[in-house]
Amino acid sequence: MKLKKYIYGVTLGMFSLALASCYNSESDFPDYEGGTTAYFAYQYPVRTLILGNDIYDNTIDNEHKCHIWATMGGAYKGRDAVADIVVDESLCDNLWFVDAGGNPSEPVRPMPKEYYNLVGNTIPYNGDQRGYVEVQFTDAFFNDPKAIESTYVIPLLMTKVSGIDHILTGTPREGLTPARQNTGDWDVLAKDYVLYCVKYKNPWDAKYIRRGVDNVTEKGATTTVVRKDFSLINTDQEHYKENPVNQNDEVCGISTKNMKQAIFPVSFKTSGASVPCNLILTFNGDQCTISTDDEGVTVTGSGEFIEKGTERPEYKDYQWGSNNGQPVQRDILRLSYNVNFADKDIQVSTNDTLVVQTRESNKREFFSPKYVK
């Protein structure tokens, strides 16, 4: 009996020791036998600087900065490594942006050097598996009308690395003198470079939820059009409340023209076909004037952009959504304008309330250039 108890005690002790070792010891896996490798994860990313307010942290965007990241493989842990980088504009040679049909449209242009400053010529990993170099953009970048679309890239080449065994320079096809940017030259693609495309959105560029009233006058007769969704209104006021703005209302888009102007396409219902107009909103601080450059159309009007307007008591019912348990306070744009379609004898008087739905800043974007020699 005593022997059985002894055996049981020893077995239990060994099991407990083994179990403790499973939880208390840290596994230390070896590096890949072929060594560690530094590289850029993506060769053709697109980074949009979101100016103004956003639901996501865009602090560095508003500082007119971005980070260009490099990474590593072949190890479970990071390294105190440093990669040397240079700007190599030849990486853009013979590369073209393509249109919707896949045809070359515009050349991939290296960003003019006066548009940006690299904070350094290295990418430190600082014990991590990733590292970055910071880029500071100048006013010249934001003053270029082409900077609102995919036009310019920062072409970086990784030339040397310390603390990591290799750089992923790729394997060219036999018998070729390869160009890094020509995928047809490679059996294993080179990933020692990045063409980092940068553009920006001004603070008013967003998708908005829109409500308003159009008074449309055709040949002297006026019709009132109310733009508002009524599907959520219920007569049982004890259980339902009419929300002044909700996501079943009309969604419209405002896009960047430059750092001070935005484009707002609108359309008005008439007795015949709807008539469109591109409004130009020109901002001076939070106030704007409204005009157009459409032929045969004149527009007058003004508006106010209210940052985090749903924080105000008079607009609190326009708030919806939360982030990390806190209400999302949304920007509001109030507009009042008159449109005259002289050749159609149509006049429109409109009051709009627009509430930001999304800045569309959480999208990953890439471009797929075409190599044309």
Give which of 43, 32, 133, 135 is closest to 84, Cα–Cα: 133
Instruction: Give 21-28 contacts, CB < 8 A, sequence gap 24+.
Output: none
Q: How confident is the model at residue 318 (pLDDT cuts 50, 70, 90)?
A: confident
Q: How confident is the model at residue 27 (pLDDT cuts 50, 70, 90)?
A: low
Burial of 62: CB neighbours in 10 Å, binned 0-12, 13-18, 19+: middle
Return the DSSP state at 259: S
pTM for the full predicted model = 0.87
Domains in the chain with CATH codes = 37-201 (2.60.40.1740), 206-358 (2.40.128.420)
Which segment of 47-51, 272-276, 331-335 scores lowest on mean pLDDT?
A: 272-276
Q: What is the DSSP string of 17-40?
A: HHHHHHHHPPP-PPPPTT--EEE-
pLDDT tens figures, 99-132: 999 999 999 999 999 999 999 999 999 999 999 9
Token pair, residue 301, equals 């009007």
Radius of gyration for the alpha carbons in the chain, expressed in angstroms and rounded: 29
pLDDT of residue 363: 86
pLDDT tens figures, 182-201: 999 999 999 999 999 999 99
The answer to whether residue 2 scores a pLDDT higher than 70 is no
CA 348 – CA 272 distance, rounded (Å): 15
Q: How confident is the model at residue 25 (pLDDT cuts 50, 70, 90)?
A: low
User: Which residues, including other chains, have CB under 8 Å from residue 7's CB and lie 6 or more apart?
Assistant: none
The answer to whether residue 22 scores a pLDDT higher than 90 is no
Mean pLDDT of 192-212: 97
3-state secondary structure of 293: coil
Q: Which residues of 79-92 are buried (b: 16+ CB within 10 A; e: fewer)?
A: bebbbebeebeebb
Token pair, residue 167, equals 């750089």
Token pair, residue 159, equals 């030339």
Give which of 240, 242, 256, 277 is closest to 352, Cα–Cα: 277
3-state secondary structure of 256: strand
Do 368 and 98 form a contact (C-beta atoms < 8 A)? yes
CA 148 – CA 152 distance, rounded (Å): 10
Mean pLDDT of 209-224: 94
CA 44 – CA 335 distance, rounded (Å): 39
Q: What is the DSSP string of 59-127?
A: HHHHTTEEEEEEEEES-SS-B--EEEEEE-GGGGTTEEEE-TTS-EEEE-EEPPGGGEEES-SEEE-TT
